[in-house]
Amino acid sequence: MTTTRVNCIACDTMILPATAERFGGLCAQCAKLPSDQLDVKRQIKEGINPLDHAIELTKRLIQRLITEYPNQHIVAIADPIFEAARFYTCDVIPRAFDYDEMKELNPDISDEIELYTSEIEGEYSLLKPIAQELKSISPELNLRGKVAVAASWGMGREEIGWMIRYLNTRDRFEEYLERWKMDESDIDQLNQAYNQELN
Q: By the criterion CB under 5 A, which residues form the site for Zn ion?
A: 8, 10-11, 13, 27, 30
15 or 134: whose CB is closer to Zn ion?
Answer: 15
Question: Closest separation between CB of residue 34 and Zn ion, Å?
Answer: 14
Question: Closest separation between CB of residue 180 and Zn ion, Å?
Answer: 51
Residue-by-residue DSSP string for 123-148: ---SHHHHHHHHHHHHHHHHHTT--E
Taking alpha carbons only, the member of 35, 30, 29, 27 closest to residue 6 is 27
Q: What is the dihedral of CA 89, 92, 93, 94, to 10 degrees?
A: -120
C-alpha separations of 106 from 12, 57, 97, 112, 172 in Å: 33, 12, 18, 10, 25
Q: CB-based contacts of 192: which residues, under 8 Å, 6+ apart?
A: none
8 or 148: whose CB is closer to Zn ion?
Answer: 8
Distance of CA 185 to the CA centre of its chain: 29
Q: Which amino acid is at 116?
A: Y
CA dist., res. 76 & res. 87, Å (int): 4
Q: Which amino acid is at 33?
A: L
Question: Closest separation between CB of residue 39 and Zn ion, Å?
Answer: 13
Question: Closest separation between CB of residue 177 and Zn ion, Å?
Answer: 53
Question: Closest separation between CB of residue 33 and Zn ion, Å?
Answer: 8
30 or 74: whose CB is closer to Zn ion?
Answer: 30
10 or 150: whose CB is closer to Zn ion?
Answer: 10
What letter does residue 105 receive in the DSSP assignment? S
40 or 147: whose CB is closer to Zn ion?
Answer: 40
